[in-house]
Structure 1
Amino acid sequence: MTERPLPSKEELRRFIEAAPGKVGKTEISRHFGLSSDQRPALRALLRDVLAEGGAMPAGRRGLAAPGRLPEMAVVEVFGTDPDGDPLARPLGWKPEQGAMPLIYMRPERAGQPALAPGERVLARLKPAGRGRYDGSTVKRIGSAPGRLLGIFEDGRIKPVDRRHRSDWEVPPGAEGGAEHGELVLAEPLPGRPLGLRPARIVERLGRMGEPRSVSLLCIHVHGIPHAMPDRALAEAEAARGVAPEGRQDLRAIPLVTIDGEDARDFDDAVWAEPAEGGWRLLVAIADVAHYVRSGSALDREAWLRGNSVYFPDRVVPMLPEALSNGWCSLKPGEERGCLFAEVSIDAAGTKTSHRFGRGIMRSAARLTYEGFEAGEDPAGTREALLGAYAALQSARDRRGTLDLDLPERRVVLDQAGGVLSVEPRARLTAHRLIEEFMVAANVCAAEELERLGQPCLYRIHDRPSDEKLEGLRTFLASFDIALPPGDRVRPGDFAAVLERVRGTPEERLVNETLLRSQSQAAYAPDNNGHFGLALPRYAHFTSPIRRYADLLVHRALIRGLRLGPDGLTEEEAGRFVETGEHITATERRAATAERDAVERYLAAYMAHRIGDVFPAHISGVTRFGLFVTVEANGATGIVPLASLPDDRWLQDLPRHALAGQRTGLRFALGQAVEARLAEAAPRTGGLVFHLMQGVPASRSAGRRRR
């Protein structure tokens, strides 16, 4: 009988990866039909696969896929999923093992208390897709010592989280080498009943006040993955340029990138020309799918991160810089692989046709928003781009999209990391042009995937809930403004409301209230449309460097159009529901961390102006006080109820206001006020203001002088 040949390393890796748990030489021999005489050769092959990282030891003699967890493991609960069920991570996971697996713990048995963050359990684990496990509790072990993030000063730790109100004491010998003023991670020690609670410093993170310390703090507070595994870095470093074979040659077309002055990665380029009765557009996007293959270390880490996170002084990228700032960045004069959308529109901005392809391009110029606005045109395409934009904008206006006035804040830092200024980010025609080109390409991507019968991870934005709509109707009725009944509300109805109040004293209040009524956008494989953009279908195609959703859309297009072997896999498509939930959560985590960083920089900037009075407006109304936002720089802080004039204050929920029964004073959302800065805490990002309204003139003048 002829012996079967040994499997190749790739065949062996695929078998180990597909196995539900660990496997041994017996299972491998049985699967590949190997004889006992081939055992020595099999052992040598397995040693090579282990050395190359294609498998990892599991138990005494077993093997498992890289990053695969055993059937039983100790895990630690760290949070909850959107349904409130516990999420856990394996205890003792090391960065060199790859991306951290995510464990979805099943609900506890009837009568058992739910698992809380910080609790450790022995869990039975069952693989549920790449990097994911379903876990069930076997035995509760106890709570992990909760970690504390703070600044070490004079033998104490001052927490940077606003929820921790008191300091912690560091006993002699528990300093871990930390120096005064350093940002540290600490673990609580068994405490005494009186006095400050003791803690032990376990990690030093750098000196507070040094460049990058604020963003470093926010990374740790919000649990953002920031250390890139060695395997992912090695894959990125091994990347090389694409070959033109099999790709459409776009190198002669003067595509240009238009980004912010401080941008370092350029993943989208645009071009336009007049066509019969309209315009022909080209949107070229970096071919990230060529470099980030499904199941690779790069792919696992990109899925875990979900998106890049942008701070005033740094970026925590979804992909290593060798790709995000290198081979996947459309730098001028350098050949790059791309996926492109060719879109034809008529003079009114209505799409008449579209086509997708895989190409090779050479960016003709790197433009900034400000430079394009000022008339820079090195590639000679400015006039055509503006003409196509005008047509797309007219189509947007006809759809009646929701366009809330939400100015972004830009933190300007000096070389030492200090805050020079915080100012509103200009909203230029160039910004809107790029947005409209990207929206057009994203719509075409969703339509093309539906035409091809391919799965699509849609970007969905639901209409406001019935409850929020009812509250909004009650609020608008006080201004004699009505909305259509029931589910007939459209984005154009909100646009009409904004137009009606434009230039009136109520404009800001109505803008703020409409914003609060909106649902949050999300990713999902089931299409609910995009309410805010007034579009029946929408997907993210244009930023695969910084959003995992776009990478999946690229892979789905590659598979559907048969553009290469690196398309979407069936396993990936089967996980779209879970992936959508995961990257929606990472996106919201990133937004919270970015906002937190800006607030801490603002608090540091404002700390030198305590006692000053600022023009502001009321941006929040609660039963315990107000929130105000400074007009000049967007700094937001609380006005405690106790600081308001002595009165009985009642909250008017429908009108978002606080009303004083005795004084007759009334403070409503959006109302212009003057606010004196009373406290600033850069460590936590907290600001406290006192309103000048209702303060006697003599006291007000004295405070202004100070």
Structure 2
Amino acid sequence: MESGEVVEYIDNNKIICSVVMESGNQKLKLFTENDREVKVSAQRLSHRGKTKLPLITDRHRMATSLKNLSAARQAIAETIQIHELWEILNQEEDWIDLEIMTGLCFPDSSDDDHQSAVIRAMFKSRRYFKFKPDRFLPHTEDQVAEIIALEQKAAREQRLIDVGAAWVRSTLSGSVVEPGVDHRELTEILKDFYLFEKDSPRCEIARALVKKVQLKSPEAVFDHLVAVGAWSADENLDLLRYRIPTDFSQPVIEKAQSLRIPTEEDLKASGRVDLTHLATLTIDGQSTLDFDDALSVEPRDGHVLVGIHISDVAQSVKKGHPLDAEARARGSSIYMPDQRISMMPPVLAENRLSLKKDCIRPAISTMVKIDPRGEIVSYDIFASIIRVKHQLSYYEANGNAEQAETINCLYDIATRFREKRLGQGALQITLPEINIWLDDTGAPVINRVNRESPGRLLIAEMMILSNWLAARFLTEKKIPAVFRSQPKPKDRILKNGPGTLFQNWMQRKLLNRFALRPEPDRHCGLGLDAYVTASSPIRKYFDLVTQRQIRAALGLEKAYTRTEIEEIIDRLSRPMADIGRVQYRRNRYWLLKYLEGRVGEKEEAIVLQRRRNGYAILLKAYMIECTLPQSSGIDLKAENLIRVTIQHVNARRNILSVFLG
């Protein structure tokens, strides 16, 4: 290739006109219309003709000549009617070379400028022809239609990016923009992008928008969505990430309202054992609305008969019913400081299926005969009807004089049962519980709950007793269920006695995960040979499934097969894990929100273990872990008691930092 030849190449989606200064080894040294010297491969050239320009020392003049030549060629390119050309050639199935295409476009002249013009026109619009610098292939009608649709989509997306960038800028500057259709669509795009990032459906639009506005962190997207009212400042993002429904659809509500619930007359005529004469009571938290378990104590000659009564949800919510499908999809009720999401519609969970005071309800009752030493003599499980006489909170149960005899009797039986479990290797981890709720102003309030209070202890142990006996009952009947087991802990810190706060906290970290399977196995954590959960059928689908298996053993319905139980366990494993994360993170979020107002305060903490750049510590008052940066000259050891100062808290970003006080 000779010096002075005018050539063109494509750079940054633009055709550049240039002149050859030197050539050799397939590399060309070019001087471009942009007054630059570049080296490019000969293979990159989009056009090479016979036109030459004299190489002169005045670079500006030479660049001007190239610009003028480029502009003249571009002006010719603007005269080419690509669509009309395609309408003539779209039946062609072979490539059309540059010389022929130039002749078709310009029958009277076909020089370098016209060839370049054809290349430029074809390069600018790829709608009608497949482009290669020296030849072109007409697209089919279907291909053209598809390309036009893609172009329209790209144009629409670009408009969204432009509109969105202007909207975000105005929001950041404090201006208010009346939302339009595009803004509503952009809101959903930005929501998905903040929640799912690269996995969001229209991630590229969101990324281009963020780049155009030059947002420095994802939190700016969150702030924008809060500013325009799409989210609240305390939005529960996990519910959105895990796509957990917070309401029930109208069809589901209508199904719940129309569900036939047995009347009192139906129940009394059904052959169920009538236990409405018993002084049955419930003990729950003050804010509880769905009551699914109740207790009774009946003195007999030389022993007591303890009744553990569970709402017979399966009597009304039948297997395969739309309400059953809804409960199965949800898996469990979700309890958070600022929100309660029921597994079943409230009309059922809080009313028609709930063991409410003075209402006759169907139940599955476990009657346990216990001798004066606290030993279980026998038990019986059957379908019953009950009427709750007393509805107590944990606080009321701990100081209720009227029910003191019943509470004391149940508490004595519960403590003896726990001692028996401990003797069988149970691991009793005793940790305070931090209860968080929101007051009337929406501010978080906390209190420290003693889980060893009489009311809480006896309910916990009575439910463990009921579930263990249900597991034994199903095992004896050889009926599969959702059995829960747990291997031995990785190590055992707690051995004799309740142990210290440090020991209990660290022991919990050493527990192995529980397992769910259709057949029984030992639950080492509880010290029991078999275990199911069947005491919360209003709140947990696994419990409802196991209740149905108990009913099947009683001849009230058909049992699930082992394969069906396995399928249920498998299907619910993911949603149940998601629910666990949602509840944990939301509790932590509101605890951190509470601590945002405690910056600068000193707190007592326990050193848990050394880490690379500091120590893991436990703030005792709030039972929350954080990291203490290592201080020079101070060497701390596990279980040391220290005082720290809360330095910085950000609930949204899950940040809690402290320094040695």
Given the two structures, how large is their TM-score scaled by the length of structure 2?
0.64
1:515 and 2:508 correspond: yes
**Residue 596 of structure 2 contacts residue 648 of structure 2 at CA under 8 Å; is this kept in 1?**
yes
Q: Tell me what 2:244 maps to.
A: 224
Q: Tell me what 1:691 maps to.
A: 660
1:678 paired residue among 631, 647, 650: 647
Distance 1:292-1:357 versus aligned 2 partners, 3 A rule: same
- Residue 432 of structure 1: how far off its partner (Å): 0.9
Distance 1:154-1:343 versus aligned 2 partners, 3 A rule: farther
1:220 counterpart letter in structure 2: L
CA distance in 2, matches of 1:208, 1:633: 34
2:597 paired residue among 568, 588, 608: 608
Q: How many residue pairs are counted as aligned between the two chains?
A: 471
- Residue 230 of structure 1: how far off its partner (Å): 3.7
- Residue 425 of structure 1: how far off its partner (Å): 5.0
CA distance in 2, matches of 1:156, 1:622: 42
CA distance in 2, matches of 1:617, 1:533: 27
Distance 1:452-1:526 versus aligned 2 partners, 3 A rule: closer
Q: SS in structure 2 opposite 1:344?
A: strand
**Residue 366 of structure 2 contacts residue 382 of structure 2 at CA under 8 Å; is this kept in 1?**
yes
Q: How does 1:202-601 map to 2 (within 5 A)?
A: 214=234, 216-242=236-262, 243-244=266-267, 245-246=269-270, 247-377=272-402, 381-425=406-450, 427-464=452-489, 468-469=490-491, 494-496=494-496, 498=497, 502=499, 507-563=500-556, 565=557, 567-570=558-561, 573-601=562-590
Q: SS in structure 2 opposite 1:410?
A: strand
**Residue 212 of structure 1 contacts residue 313 of structure 1 at CA under 8 Å; is this kept in 2?**
no
CA distance in 2, matches of 1:296, 1:217: 31
CA distance in 1, matches of 2:450, 2:229: 25
User: Residues 285-326 of structure 1, C-alpha deviation per residue, up to 9 Å, x if partnerless?
Assistant: 111102221112211221222211110122111111111101
Distance 1:378-1:405 versus aligned 2 partners, 3 A rule: closer
Q: Tell me what 1:655 maps to.
A: none
CA distance in 2, matches of 1:379, 1:336: 25
1:188 counterpart letter in structure 2: C
**Residue 604 of structure 2 contacts residue 619 of structure 2 at CA under 8 Å; is this kept in 1?**
yes
CA distance in 1, matches of 2:468, 2:435: 30
User: Residues 654-701 of structure 1, C-alpha deviation per residue, up to 9 Å, x if partnerless?
Assistant: xxxxxxxxx4x4334443222222211122332111224xxxxxxxxx
Q: SS in structure 2 opposite 1:568?
A: coil
Distance 1:627-1:212 versus aligned 2 partners, 3 A rule: farther
1:623 counterpart letter in structure 2: R
Distance 1:452-1:295 versus aligned 2 partners, 3 A rule: same
- Residue 234 of structure 1: how far off its partner (Å): 2.4
CA distance in 2, matches of 1:337, 1:555: 14
2:559 counterpart letter in structure 1: L
RMSD of aligned residue pairs (Cα, Å): 3.6
**Residue 256 of structure 1 contacts residue 363 of structure 1 at CA under 8 Å; is this kept in 2?**
yes
Distance 1:631-1:335 versus aligned 2 partners, 3 A rule: same
CA distance in 2, matches of 1:417, 1:425: 25
Greater mean deviation of Cα atoms: 326-335 or 603-612: 603-612
Q: Tell me what 2:616 maps to.
A: 627
User: Residues 601-652 of structure 1, C-alpha deviation per residue, up to 9 Å, x if partnerless?
Assistant: 122222223232221223464335433332222343333xxx4235xxxxxx
Higher helix fraction (1 or 2): 2
CA distance in 1, matches of 2:639, 2:393: 34
**Residue 431 of structure 2 contacts residue 501 of structure 2 at CA under 8 Å; is this kept in 1?**
no
Distance 1:291-1:626 versus aligned 2 partners, 3 A rule: farther
Q: How does 1:647-658 map to 2 (within 5 A)?
A: none
**Residue 184 of structure 1 contacts residue 205 of structure 1 at CA under 8 Å; is this kept in 2?**
no
For structure 1, the residue ranges without an aligned partner over 5 or more in a row are 1-144, 146-151, 158-170, 477-493, 647-662, 693-706
- Residue 156 of structure 1: how far off its partner (Å): 7.7
**Residue 206 of structure 1 contacts residue 213 of structure 1 at CA under 8 Å; is this kept in 2?**
yes
Distance 1:309-1:185 versus aligned 2 partners, 3 A rule: farther
**Residue 434 of structure 2 contacts residue 446 of structure 2 at CA under 8 Å; is this kept in 1?**
no
Q: SS in structure 1 opposite 2:288?
A: coil
CA distance in 2, matches of 1:211, 1:365: 42
**Residue 627 of structure 1 contacts residue 637 of structure 1 at CA under 8 Å; is this kept in 2?**
yes
Q: How does 1:116-265 map to 2 (within 5 A)?
A: 175-176=183-184, 188-190=203-205, 191=207, 195-196=214-215, 214=234, 216-242=236-262, 243-244=266-267, 245-246=269-270, 247-265=272-290
Q: SS in structure 2 opposite 1:667?
A: coil
Q: SS in structure 1 opposite 2:603?
A: strand
CA distance in 2, matches of 1:285, 1:677: 45
Identity of aligned residues (%): 23
CA distance in 1, matches of 2:449, 2:228: 26
**Residue 449 of structure 1 contacts residue 456 of structure 1 at CA under 8 Å; is this kept in 2?**
yes
**Residue 348 of structure 1 contacts residue 394 of structure 1 at CA under 8 Å; is this kept in 2?**
no
- Residue 257 of structure 1: how far off its partner (Å): 0.6
Distance 1:508-1:334 versus aligned 2 partners, 3 A rule: closer
- Residue 364 of structure 1: how far off its partner (Å): 0.5
- Residue 409 of structure 1: how far off its partner (Å): 0.9
User: Residues 7-54 of structure 1, C-alpha deviation per residue, up to 9 Å, x if partnerless?
Assistant: xxxxxxxxxxxxxxxxxxxxxxxxxxxxxxxxxxxxxxxxxxxxxxxx
Distance 1:450-1:628 versus aligned 2 partners, 3 A rule: same
Distance 1:426-1:459 versus aligned 2 partners, 3 A rule: closer
1:636 paired residue among 596, 600, 625: 625
**Residue 236 of structure 2 contacts residue 586 of structure 2 at CA under 8 Å; is this kept in 1?**
no
**Residue 530 of structure 1 contacts residue 538 of structure 1 at CA under 8 Å; is this kept in 2?**
yes
Q: Which structure has the larger Rg?
A: 2
2:315 counterpart letter in structure 1: H
CA distance in 1, matches of 2:224, 2:256: 29
Distance 1:393-1:216 versus aligned 2 partners, 3 A rule: same
CA distance in 2, matches of 1:295, 1:205: 40
**Residue 400 of structure 1 contacts residue 495 of structure 1 at CA under 8 Å; is this kept in 2?**
no
1:196 counterpart letter in structure 2: L
**Residue 522 of structure 2 contacts residue 529 of structure 2 at CA under 8 Å; is this kept in 1?**
yes
Q: Tell me what 2:144 maps to.
A: none
CA distance in 2, matches of 1:209, 1:416: 19
- Residue 542 of structure 1: how far off its partner (Å): 0.7
**Residue 483 of structure 2 contacts residue 518 of structure 2 at CA under 8 Å; is this kept in 1?**
yes
Given the two structures, how large is their TM-score scaled by the length of structure 1?
0.60
CA distance in 2, matches of 1:523, 1:452: 19
User: Residues 380-414 of structure 1, C-alpha deviation per residue, up to 9 Å, x if partnerless?
Assistant: 73354344335434433433421112221111321
1:537 counterpart letter in structure 2: A
For structure 2, the residue ranges without an aligned partner over 5 or more in a row are 1-156, 158-166, 173-178, 195-201
CA distance in 2, matches of 1:389, 1:210: 50
Q: SS in structure 2 opposite 1:495?
A: coil
- Residue 173 of structure 1: how far off its partner (Å): 9.0
CA distance in 2, matches of 1:234, 1:596: 33
